[in-house]
Amino acid sequence: MALAKNPILAGFYPDPSICAVGHDFYLVNSTFSYFPGIPVWHSRDLAHWEQIGNVMERESQLPLYGCGHSEGLFAPSIRYDEGTFYVACTNVSGGGSFIVTAADPAGPWSEPYYLEGAAGIDPSLFFDDDGSCYYIGTHPNPEGCRYDGDWYLWIQELDLKTMRLIGKAKDVWHGAMRRVVWPEGPHLYKKNGYYYILYAEGGTESHHAVAVCRSRSILGPYENNPCNPILTHRHLGQSYPIQCVGHGDLVETPSGEWYMVLLATRPLEGCTTLGRETFLARVVWENDWPVVNPGVGRLTSEVRTGLAVWEMEKAEFDGRKCYRFGEMKRLDAAFLFLRNPDRSKYRLCSGEGLRLAYGGCLLTRKASPVYLGLRQRHHCFRAEAVLDLPVSDGETGIALLQNNEYHLRLALIRPKGTEEIVLRVYLCEKGIDHLLAKESVSVNQTDHRAAVRLTLEVRGIAAAVEAYGGCGEAAVLREVDIRSLSTETAGGFAGCTVGLYAAGGCETDPDIIYRSFLYDAEQWNTIK
């Protein structure tokens, strides 16, 4: 039987939602200001996952102009009914809550149907046995918020033919605890004649929790589970390695076993750089209530599923991947841009590499800098870029990006009118650049191809920088404190990404050519 290792999706994969279709499981996550939006994962054993696409791949589906780093797409949900997949989500930066549909979860997905009257966030759909469909979400207390986070879970019928909410919205649940904050991320299920709402409360930080209520009728009244919250780590103390446990979704396997996917974090010394990640837990039912990891009551490092091991068609991502751009026909689904990218500034050239255009804005702007990132999926990893000699006095190099105001940049520059190549290491905090190091990189000026190798090594909350110019190795910085690239300092909902960028210089400067980009990790499992 398959053994799932937690987190099942390491790195910035928050707000997981899951559905089963026969023996196949599909899972989605939120992406905020990154593009494309909402990765779609496929698995047959809940342990091994492969990304089969992204839901929001076209600019027409996903306007993100000028949005803040943790704005854009909030928590999506995925459901399947009668041959159609549905993803419901909210673009908090434009359009609000919407539904997209697809016959194949790998895509293409439809244009968004924006839902009039769907205030708030975290939409999810429920298909009842009689063919009706209901929307559930969370919105501010309609009588006025008495305190921050005074929100209500609400349900309304949805007409699938017109994609419009019909009838009346009903506030059904305020939370299990008194004066609770942020009842959110709700999902509806039906089992044994009960409707269940599984949802999060306490806020997505250290008080996060999963709770549940039930009713015989979809519009309530809902009854509190006396065991609520059914899962939280809020009582385990701040030094417990897994924190912020909440925002779950349930799934039933063909043999009738139940599992929950949910988010949690793995901070180091109180610093979360990886963001919120996707975990798995086992669920059993007792007295018509779900019990999570019975006998344990918290997340475990491994979950033995009752499903046969799935031999994935594609090679599994084992923490090491080298992208040789000259050999790639198109970019992997795992790559991320910021907001709405100008695709003409990124060109894959066969036999050569990836050409990034200079002339764009710095990463500090809430715009679309030229940046191509991958999620940081491990506490410890090495990123290595091989590029041709920079020709511009603009910047190019590797960035470790928490958000536009907090990031580390390994910036290669050729100062105007010189033959010199300089590496500047900047730590940007609160939007202000701090120059940590400046080093001349000795390069072979006669060989313009593949002349510079830039390395960023991250070891938890510290980083090191190296540059190699073909004429000698240079450890530029051995120890950079990157604690500020954590959500505790930077705020927001995102995890770090690591990527290649180009900024400044002149529009007419030749592009910079990247030959390869390596992500190499040494898994650091901190769960005891």
Q: Give whichever of 125 and 513 is closer to ligand 6LW, judged by the CB atom.
A: 125
Contact 351, 249 (CB under 8 A): no
Q: Give whichever of 72 and 369 is closer to ligand 6LW, judged by the CB atom.
A: 72
Residue 363 CA to residue 61 CA, distance in Å, equals 24
**Type of residue found at 441:** V
The neighbouring-strand residues paired with 174 are none
Q: Give whichever of 145 and 361 is closer to ligand 6LW, judged by the CB atom.
A: 145
Q: Give whichever of 203 and 306 is closer to ligand 6LW, judged by the CB atom.
A: 203
Contact 175, 211 (CB under 8 A): yes
Residue with the two structure tokens 């434009």? 94
Q: Kindly state the smallest distance separating residue 221's Cβ from ligand 6LW, in Å.
A: 23
**Cα–Cα separations (whole angstroms), residue 104 to 114, 124, 410:** 21, 19, 40
Q: Give whichever of 134 and 493 is closer to ligand 6LW, judged by the CB atom.
A: 493
Contact 32, 339 (CB under 8 A): no
**Dihedral sign (CA 101, 171, 132, 29):** positive
What are the two backbone dihedrals, phi and then psi, of residue 333, each rounded to the nearest 5 degrees? -65, -20
Q: Give whichever of 67 and 443 is closer to ligand 6LW, judged by the CB atom.
A: 67
Residue 139: name the closest of 155, 158, 127, 126 by CA: 155
Q: Kindly state the smallest distance separating residue 162's Cβ from ligand 6LW, in Å.
A: 26
Active site residue 288: no
Contact 235, 297 (CB under 8 A): no
Which residues contact ligand 6LW by CB under 6 A?
A: 14-15, 30, 74-75, 121-122, 184-185, 200, 204, 246-247, 263, 493
Q: Give whichever of 121 and 485 is closer to ligand 6LW, judged by the CB atom.
A: 121
Residue 454 CA to residue 467 CA, distance in Å, equals 5
Q: Kindly state the smallest distance separating residue 75's Cβ from ligand 6LW, in Å.
A: 4
Q: Give whichever of 150 and 184 is closer to ligand 6LW, judged by the CB atom.
A: 184
Q: Kindly state the smallest distance separating residue 279's Cβ from ligand 6LW, in Å.
A: 13
Q: Give whichever of 177 and 518 is closer to ligand 6LW, judged by the CB atom.
A: 177
Q: Kindly state the smallest distance separating residue 204's Cβ from ligand 6LW, in Å.
A: 3
258, two tokens:
């139940």
Residue 229: name the closest of 252, 198, 259 by CA: 198
1, two tokens:
């039987």
Q: Cα 446–449–453 angle (5° rounding)?
A: 105
Q: Name the residue whose CB lies closest to ligand 6LW.
A: 204
Q: Which residues contact 419 (CB under 8 A, 6 or more apart)?
A: 445
Active site residue 184: yes
Q: Kindly state the smallest distance separating residue 491's Cβ from ligand 6LW, in Å.
A: 12
Residue 320 CA to residue 333 CA, distance in Å, equals 16
Q: Kindly state the smallest distance separating residue 428's Cβ from ligand 6LW, in Å.
A: 24
Q: How many residues would you count in the chain?
A: 528
From 15, 122, 201, 509, active-site residue: 15
3-class secondary structure for 109-173? CCCCEECCCCCCEEEEEEECCCCCEEEEEEEECCCCCCCCCCEEEEEEEEECCCCEEEEEEEEEE
312, two tokens:
């994935």
From 71, 150, 184, 384, active-site residue: 184
Residue with the two structure tokens 């928490």? 402
Q: Kindly state the smallest distance separating residue 526's Cβ from ligand 6LW, in Å.
A: 21
Q: Kindly state the smallest distance separating residue 247's Cβ from ligand 6LW, in Å.
A: 4
Pairing of strands 277-286, 289-292: antiparallel
**Cα–Cα separations (whole angstroms), residue 415 to 384, 390, 395, 418, 505:** 23, 10, 10, 6, 10
Q: Give whichever of 204 and 484 is closer to ligand 6LW, judged by the CB atom.
A: 204
Residue 20 CA to residue 34 CA, distance in Å, equals 26
Q: Cα 180–181–184 angle (5° rounding)?
A: 110
Q: Kindly state the smallest distance separating residue 89's Cβ from ligand 6LW, in Å.
A: 9
- Residue numbers annotated as active site: 15, 184
